[in-house]
C-alpha cells in the first residue's frame, strides 16, 4: 500500500469548520440524536456520532447496478488484507440457521477507524448468478452472500478516497443472468395436405460483444446484414459458411432477435430439398416481405454446371432473391453451409443479389483466451486457435 493511501486510511481528521461537526455536544445528547430514514435499531448515525462527534457524509454502493452484484465475503477480505481492518471488531446482526447450526448474517457494520464506517444492508444468499471473476462461493450450494447495498459513512476529508473505495467494490462482483429473451420462429413443415408453418421459440444467446465472439472484422458485416434485413420490401441473399462449430447457428439465433417487423421462416435441413418442389413457391407467396432462413443448405446451392441432374432449388433461390418473383414478394434469404465457397453456384454471388458473404472460422489464440476468460473457463486449456463450440464445451 502506498504511503499516501495509508495516510488517508489512518488519519481520523476532524475539521471544526465542518457543518456536521458536533464537538461540544455531550455523549448523552449525541446518542439521542437520529435522522429521518435511519431505520435500524442500532442506529448507524448514532454509532458514527458516538465515535466521531460529527454527522457523516453518505455514499451508497448499490447491488444490481449494470447487473453487478456486490460480494460481501470478497469485500471483507479486501478490507482485512488491504486496509488492515480487524473483522472481529464488526457489529453484526443475523438469524440462527437450524440446518447449518450457524448464524446467517443479514447486516454488518464496520468502522475503519479513519473517519469511514461501512454498513452492509440486507445480506442474502444467491446461487443464481454468473461468476466471471471466479469468486469463491460461501456455501456448498454455490451460494454467494450479496448485500442489497453498502452505505459508506465518512468525514469530509475522505471525500476523494471514498469513491475509489466504492469503485474497488464494483471489481468484486458477480453478475445477474440476463433475462431470457425469446423469439417466435416459423418452421416449415409438411403433411398430406401440403406445407404449413409451425411456431417454435428460440432463446437469444448471451452475446454482449460480437467482436469478442467473431472477431473485429465481422462487426461491419453484421451491421450491413441487419440494415438490409430490416429494410421493408427488400430482397437479396446472405451466405454464411465455415467449418462446423465456428458459430454460424449461434449467430443466427442472435440475428433473428435483431430483426423487426418481419416474418422469419425457418427451413430445417431435412426440408431444404423441398425448395425445388413446384408447390413450394406458391406456398411462400402467402408470406411476402419475409425472411427465409435455410440451415445446412449445401445440397441445394451447389453449382448447377457440376451436376448431372441440376437442382431446381438453385433456380428458385435465384428467382426469390433477385428475379421477377423477388420483385413481387420482397423475400430475403439467409443460408448457412459448411462446404467450400467454390462449390456453390456462382450466380448466387452476383453483385446486386448478394447482401453479404462471410466465412466463419476459428478465433485466433489471443481472442480464444479472452472469450474463454469472459465465459468463466479461464485460459488454462486454450493453447491454440479454437472454434466457438470448442471454447463453450472445453469441460466436456
Task: Write out pLDDT tens, residues 226-272.
Answer: 999 999 888 889 999 988 889 899 999 999 889 988 899 999 888 88
* DSSP 8-state symbol, 128: S
For the chain, which residues score pLDDT lower than 70? 1-25, 27-42, 179-181, 303-304, 306-311, 323, 326, 396
| CA atoms of 260 and 231, how far apart (whole Å) | 9
Q: What angle do CA 299, 305, 311 make, to 5 degrees?
A: 40
Residue range(s) of every CATH 3.40.50.300 domain in the chain:
182-360
CB 335 within 8 A of CB 294: yes
Length of the chain: 396
Among residues 184, 257, 265, 259, the alpha carbon closest in space to that of 227 is found at 259
Give me the pLDDT at residue 49, please.
Answer: 82
Query: b or e along 357-395 (b: 16 or more beta carbons within 10 Å of the residue's beta carbon)?
Result: ebebebbeeebbbbbbeeeebeeeebeeebbbebbbebe
Helices 3-10 and 161-169: crossing angle in degrees, nearest 10, is 100
Q: What are phi and psi of 21, to 5 degrees?
A: -70, 135
**CA count, 13 A, side-chain hemisphere, 303:** 10
**C-alpha dist (Å) from residue 95 to 78, 98, 102, 118, 125:** 25, 9, 9, 20, 13
CB 284 within 8 A of CB 257: no
Give me the pLDDT at residue 156, please.
Answer: 93
Give me the pLDDT at residue 324, please.
Answer: 75
- Domain 182-360 listed as CATH 3.40.50.300: yes
CB 211 within 8 A of CB 306: no
Give me the pLDDT at residue 134, please.
Answer: 87
> What is the signed CA dihedral for 262, 201, 126, 140, rounded to 10 degrees?
-140
| CA atoms of 335 and 341, how far apart (whole Å) | 12
Among residues 192, 335, 336, 190, the alpha carbon closest in space to that of 271 is found at 190
pLDDT tens per residue across span 191-205: 988 999 999 988 888
| CA atoms of 58 and 55, how far apart (whole Å) | 10
| CA atoms of 226 and 220, how far apart (whole Å) | 10
Amino acid at each position: 500500500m502506498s504511503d499516501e493511501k495509508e495516510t488517508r486510511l489512518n488519519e481520523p481528521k476532524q475539521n471544526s469548520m465542518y457543518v456536521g461537526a458536533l464537538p461540544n455536544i455531550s455523549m448523552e445528547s449525541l446518542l439521542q440524536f437520529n435522522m429521518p430514514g435511519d431505520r435500524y435499531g442500532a442506529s448507524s448515525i448514532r454509532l458514527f456520532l458516538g465515535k466521531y462527534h460529527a454527522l457523516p457524509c453518505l455514499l451508497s454502493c448499490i447491488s444490481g447496478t449494470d447487473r453487478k452484484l456486490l460480494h460481501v465475503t470478497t469485500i471483507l477480505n479486501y478490507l482485512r488484507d488491504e486496509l488492515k481492518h480487524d473483522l472481529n471488531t464488526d457489529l453484526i446482526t443475523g438469524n440462527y440457521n437450524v440446518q447449518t447450526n450457524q448464524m446467517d448474517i443479514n447486516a454488518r457494520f464496520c468502522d475503519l477507524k479513519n473517519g469511514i464506517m461501512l454498513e452492509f444492508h440486507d445480506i442474502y444468499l444467491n446461487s443464481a448468478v454468473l461468476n466471471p471473476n471466479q469468486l469463491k462461493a460461501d456455501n456448498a450450494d454455490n451460494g454467494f452472500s450479496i448485500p442489497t447495498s453498502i452505505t459508506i459513512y465518512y468525514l469530509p476529508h475522505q471525500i476523494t478516497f471514498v469513491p475509489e473505495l466504492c469503485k474497488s467494490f464494483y471489481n468484486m462482483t458477480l453478475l445477474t443472468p440476463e433475462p431470457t429473451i425469446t423469439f417466435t420462429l416459423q418452421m416449415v413443415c409438411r403433411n398430406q395436405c401440403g406445407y404449413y408453418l409451425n411456431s417454435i421459440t428460440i432463446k437469444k444467446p448471451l452475446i454482449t460483444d460480437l467482436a469478442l465472439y467473431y472477431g473485429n472484422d465481422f462487426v461491419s458485416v453484421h451491421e450491413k446484414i441487419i440494415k438490409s434485413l430490416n429494410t421493408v420490401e427488400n430482397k437479396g441473399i446472405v451466405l454464411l459458411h465455415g467449418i462446423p462449430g465456428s458459430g454460424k447457428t449461434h449467430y443466427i439465433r442472435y440475428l433473428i432477435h435483431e430483426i423487426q417487423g418481419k416474418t422469419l421462416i425457418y427451413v430445417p435441413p431435412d426440408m431444404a430439398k423441398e425448395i425445388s418442389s413446384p408447390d413450394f413457391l406458391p406456398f411462400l407467396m402467402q408470406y411476402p416481405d419475409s425472411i427465409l432462413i435455410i440451415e445446412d443448405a449445401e445440397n441445394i446451392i451447389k453449382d448447377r454446371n457440376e451436376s448431372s441432374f441440376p437442382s431446381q432449388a438453385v433456380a428458385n433461390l435465384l428467382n426469390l432473391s433477385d428475379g421477377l418473383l423477388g420483385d413481387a414478394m420482397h423475400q430475403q434469404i439467409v443460408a448457412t453451409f459448411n462446404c467450400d465457397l467454390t462449390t456453390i453456384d456462382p450466380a448466387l454471388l452476383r453483385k446486386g443479389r448478394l447482401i453479404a458473404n462471410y466465412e466463419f472460422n476459428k478465433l485466433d489464440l489471443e481472442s480464444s483466451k479472452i472469450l474463454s476468460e469472459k465465459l468463466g473457463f479461464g485460459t488454462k486449456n486454450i493453447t491454440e486457435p479454437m472454434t466457438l463450440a470448442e471454447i463453450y464445451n472445453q469441460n466436456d
